[in-house]
């Protein structure tokens, strides 16, 4: 079921929107994969992840691999709901901004 | 993209990010072969007498766990095969067919049909390869068509 549309300023920032797009596609994704996909630096990604974590939208877990710690991120149920509501709002707004263009065409 | 993208720009960003992800989501045929071999052996081993059938089942489960671990460390992502809507149906379908094949193998053991484990194990091997590839194809399409 599609949740009611709600604009979420935490999610709307371009970097965080992309992170949520990735995490909504998989159960969990590793830091390096997210960084390489959205093409940001480690520090920028860390900042975005921290903001999403503080909002309760993602959980971060660290697992040791070959003596190094790797960070994994996943959307929480609240994060999934917020992202779906935000996307619903984007769709609603996109539909609204399309309407005048169509109307203009008819009015000549 | 600007700092405060308009809705269509934001939706396009979500779409392109997902496309970027799916482009990276390729895996070697060797992975399919290993997983399929494990599934084939898991099914065929049910033709063995107890407790060896149980030991083989547990060993196969552990080996599949190893495959998950390898995938995560190699690719940096994981998704539960049963969770996506359409791809999940493929996963459930495969699981049901593997359980049926295990049942047929056990029946064959009871009936004394010696070649049955070979036939069901081979069927499980082929099913796992085809099912795995089908799952990935359906899931990628599901992601591409998702709007949120």
Pick the residue of A21, A72, A83, A89 with the most B CBs within 10 A to test the interface with B by mutation.
A21
- Residue A3 in any domain: the answer is no
How many domains does one find in chain A? 1
Number of Cα atoms under 13 Å in the Cβ half of residue B65 = 6
pTM over 0.90: no
pLDDT in tens, B3-47: 556 889 999 999 999 888 888 788 889 999 999 999 999 999 999
**Distance of residue A62 Cα from the nearest chain B Cα, in angstroms:** 13
Cα separation, B113 vs B105, in Å, equals: 9
Paired tokens of A50: 């921290």
| CB burial string B49-61: b at 16+ within 10 A, e below | eeeebeebbeebe
Q: How far is CA B36 from the centre of its chain?
A: 9
B51 close to A (CB below 8 A): no
ipTM confidence: 0.82
| CB burial string A63-90: b at 16+ within 10 A, e below | eeeeeeebbbbbbbeebbebbbbbbbbb
- Residue of chain B nearest A38, judged by CA positions: B17
Task: Report the CATH number at residue A49.
Answer: 1.10.10.10
pLDDT in tens, A58-70: 999 998 877 788 9
**Which residue in the set B5, B73, B83 is minimally distant from A27, CB to CB?**
B83
In B6-47, where does DSSP find H-type helix?
A: 7-24, 29-44
- Taking contacts as CB-CB distances below 8 angstroms, the residues of chain B near A37 are 17, 20-21, 24
Domain with A15, as residue range(s), is: 9-102
A51 falls in which pLDDT band (50, 70, 90)?
A: very high
């Amino acid at each position: 079921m599609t949740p009611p549309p709600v604009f979420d300023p935490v999610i709307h920032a371009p970097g965080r929107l992309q992170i949520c797009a990735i995490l909504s596609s998989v159960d969990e994704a590793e830091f390096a994969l997210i960084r390489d996909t959205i093409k940001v630096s480690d520090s920028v990604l860390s900042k975005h992840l921290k903001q999403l974590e503080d909002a309760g939208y993602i959980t971060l877990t660290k697992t040791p691999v070959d003596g190094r710690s790797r960070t994994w991120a996943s959307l929480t149920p609240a994060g999934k709901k917020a992202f779906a509501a935000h996307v619903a709002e984007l769709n609603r707004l996109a539909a609204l901004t399309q309407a005048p263009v169509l109307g203009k065409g008819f009015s000549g | 993209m600007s700092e405060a993208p308009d809705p269509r720009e934001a939706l396009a960003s979500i779409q392109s990010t997902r496309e970027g992800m799916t482009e990276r989501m390729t895996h070697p045929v060797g992975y399919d072969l290993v997983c399929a071999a494990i599934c084939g052996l898991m099914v065929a081993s049910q033709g063995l007498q107890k407790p060896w059938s149980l030991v083989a089942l547990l060993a196969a489960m552990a080996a599949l766990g190893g495959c998950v671990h390898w995938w995560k460390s190699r690719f940096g992502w994981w998704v539960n095969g049963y969770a996506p809507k359409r791809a999940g149906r493929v996963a459930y379908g495969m699981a049901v067919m593997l359980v049926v094949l295990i049942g047929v193998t056990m029946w064959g053991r009871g009936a004394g049909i010696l070649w049955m484990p070979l036939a069901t194990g081979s069927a499980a091997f082929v099913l796992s390869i085809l099912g795995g590839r089908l799952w990935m194809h359906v899931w990628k399409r599901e992601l591409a068509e998702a709007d949120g």
